[in-house]
Amino acid sequence: MRAVDLRSAVAILIAITGVSLAVGSANAETAALAEREAPDSADSGVRDATPTAGKAEQRRERRELRSQRGEERLAHARVVLFDGIELSAEQSRGVDAIVEAELKNGRRTEELRAELEATSRQGDTERIRAIREESRSLRAQRKGPNTTMEEMRALLTEEQRPIFDMNRARLAAESQQSQKGRHKKRSRAGAVVEAE
């Protein structure tokens, strides 16, 4: 049971620190939405700058969907990374601490994004500045996925490291295949838009 909990935490860590994997998908979703909302040739091109409740709800739903997808990817990554590795209680606590620190950072980042959106609508420039400064600080503290995985790897014994390395390579290969699939979808979607 403890190994499963640890795997879930690592998966979450990877999803949060591996946001770059989700960025392509999120950018495609945002581009598709922008395409639907773009003015056609008969339109004046002028849009109301005040976000409607519907648009705010759509943004919130997209954030939730990205978060859910990230958690799913992390859960899978955790299973893959520690497949075949039995961690001691001390190792488990160390990995948990690494994961929790990254999760805390990620949660706060998401809170700040939502707060910035709300504050921007209110026009509170002083609070906007403070939120942006805190966001910069969090980004500076954030470790990349490779650094985080190296910290985890350092907790393992010499016997466990080769298994972790193979699992990490397997995870990287899966990620590349997933990125290729998303790229093909975007290319096909672009070809359809161009054909219209």
In the chain, DSSP finds a helix count (H) and a strand count (E) of 7, 0
CB atoms within 10 A of CB 67: 16
* Closest by Cα among 177, 186, 164 to 7: 164
Residues 14 and 72: their CA atoms lie apart, in Å, by 10
For each of the chain's 196 residues, which pLDDT tens digit applies? 455 555 555 555 555 444 433 334 444 444 444 444 444 444 444 444 455 567 878 877 887 777 667 667 666 777 788 899 998 999 989 988 887 887 788 788 888 988 998 898 888 899 999 999 999 998 888 888 888 889 999 999 999 999 999 999 999 999 888 887 776 766 666 555 555 5
Residues 141 and 135: their CA atoms lie apart, in Å, by 10
Residues 143 and 12: their CA atoms lie apart, in Å, by 14
**CB-side exposure of 60: number of CA atoms within 13 Å?**
12
Residue 13 · residue 146 · CB < 8 Å = no
* Closest by Cα among 182, 106, 180 to 148: 106
pLDDT given for residue 177 in this prediction: 87
* Closest by Cα among 81, 70, 71, 69 to 151: 81
